[in-house]
Structure 1
Amino acid sequence: MSEQLDAALAHASRGWKVFPLRIGDKRPAVRDWETRATTDAVRIHRAWGSQRGARCNVGIACGPSNLVVVDLDTPAHGSPRPYEWDKPGIDTGADVFAALAEQHGEPPPFETFSVETVSGGEHVYFAAPDGPAIRNSAGKVGWLIDVRGAGGYVVAAGSKVGGRRYRSNGHAEVARLPRWLTAAIQQQPRPSTDLGRFLDVCQRPVLGPRWWPGESPRSGGVQAVLMAAPFFAVRASRMR
């Protein structure tokens, strides 16, 4: 029996519905993977039992498995750091996750099953709460934090990508999704009323023939480009 077949059976024994991923890859090897994911041992042996299938990686369909998986990533080389997380000790998604828990007066929720990814990140598994399904999101909870739920999947422990293996922490239990984290995932984004940083970013030297009254093209005036703010466009039209 291959390592991937062993892994698929082990995950299925926990009630997690699995399906094959491409060999050495993160992409599904089958269509309609969410509906075809299974815990049935016969089907799993059929999928991973052949010489080629034995090399396929293992995916876990989060929604059908009643899982919410928090993906804690590492920053890409040279990627910009959001100003709100430009703090000492904040370098990875795990650091942001721990800081968010502290802000809510809770301990970091790492006492649960998790998987170390090949990029150095971590998939933290939680049991989905009752109520509306938790769906996928990217960066909604915080910098370098993605969420996989209904409609999403994760590469399971035992899979291998780029010669490196996804490894679990061996934790037997899967914790319930904390309430503060459930609220953070389900909250609706609110439009920002702070235009300060927008104005700072959008100020550009005037390069074309347009300038403010009293300025000439030679004066090198600066105008705020406010194409994304219809309110200011209306104000400008009334000043003509």
Structure 2
Amino acid sequence: MTTAAAADLAARGLAVFPLPPGGRKPTGPWRSQCLTDPERVQEFWREGDNIGVGCRASHVVGLDLDIEGDADGQAVLAALAERLGEDWPDTLTVATPSGGRHLYFAVADGCTIGSFSGGRSPLGPGIDVRGPGLRSGGYLIGPGSVVGGKPYVIVRDVPVQPLPRWIGNRLTTR
């Protein structure tokens, strides 16, 4: 199952690498293990491995909309969009085991948006950012992965869309 999910992500243009079964953290030099060819994924992947998506190699920025305690990243992003008169971004969206969401956005090669977490995101509380960064970039746990017995599942199956300007401006003016 995870091999097929990893190959599907590679076919979508995302660079994937293996994470330990049930795990969230890479055990080695994951940046050099990113694969974008679905056939290579089929050859290389060990069934049961979780899936990492390298942001720099994929040319994506990921928004991790957490729901923890008083922080509700989905509500914070929705309020920001409403305040600015913008629509909710319609892009590839993945449900996380905690009830949050990962939103995937395409960025140009050379984009240097970094990663922010723990309430330091310029977008507001409950919104972590995983970006390409200056050198190595961050990563997201991909759909098809299972952590704590709960899966990451695609809930909006559309192509990855360009990073909306109203979000990008807040991430690059820091």
Tell me, yes or no, whether TM beats 0.5. yes
Please report the TM-score for the alignment, with normalisation by the length of structure 1.
0.65
Task: Indicate whether 1:56 and 2:60 are aligned.
Answer: no
Shift of 1:46: 3.6
Return closer, same or farther for 1:160/1:43 CA change in 2, 3 Å cut-off: same
Aligned-partner Cα distance in 2 for 1:131–1:46 = 30
* Counterpart position of 1:85: none
* Counterpart position of 2:152: 166
Deviations 1:137-169 (A, max 9, x none): 122210100111111111111111111110002
Shift of 1:43: 3.5
Task: Indicate whether 1:26 and 2:24 are aligned.
Answer: yes
Greater relative contact order (CA < 8 Å, ≥ 6 in sequence): 2
Query: Which runs of structure 2 are paired with 1:12-91 in the superposition (5 Å)?
Result: 12-29=10-27, 31-48=28-45, 53-76=46-69
Aligned-partner Cα distance in 2 for 1:44–1:54 = 11
Aligned-partner Cα distance in 2 for 1:175–1:47 = 28
Deviations 1:52-90 (A, max 9, x none): x211101110111011111100123xxxx5xxxxxxxxx
Deviations 1:15-74 (A, max 9, x none): 111100011111114x221232011345323432xxxx2111011101110111111001
**Alignment length (residue pairs):** 167
Is the 8 Å Cα contact of residues 17 and 33 (structure 2) preserved in structure 1? yes
Shift of 1:187: 1.6
Question: What residue ranges of structure 1 are gaps of 5+ in the alignment?
Answer: 82-90, 189-240
Return closer, same or farther for 1:5/1:100 CA change in 2, 3 Å cut-off: same
* Counterpart position of 1:157: 143
* Counterpart position of 2:7: 9
Aligned-partner Cα distance in 2 for 1:170–1:181 = 19
* Counterpart position of 2:163: 177
Please report the TM-score for the alignment, with normalisation by the length of structure 2.
0.88
SS of 1:15's equivalent in the other structure is: coil
Q: 17-26 or 164-173: which moved more?
A: 164-173
Shift of 1:104: 1.5
- AA at the equivalent of 2:151: R
Q: What is the alpha-carbon root mean square deviation over aligned residues? A: 1.7
Query: Which runs of structure 2 are paired with 1:109-124 in the superposition (5 Å)?
Result: 109=89, 111-124=90-103
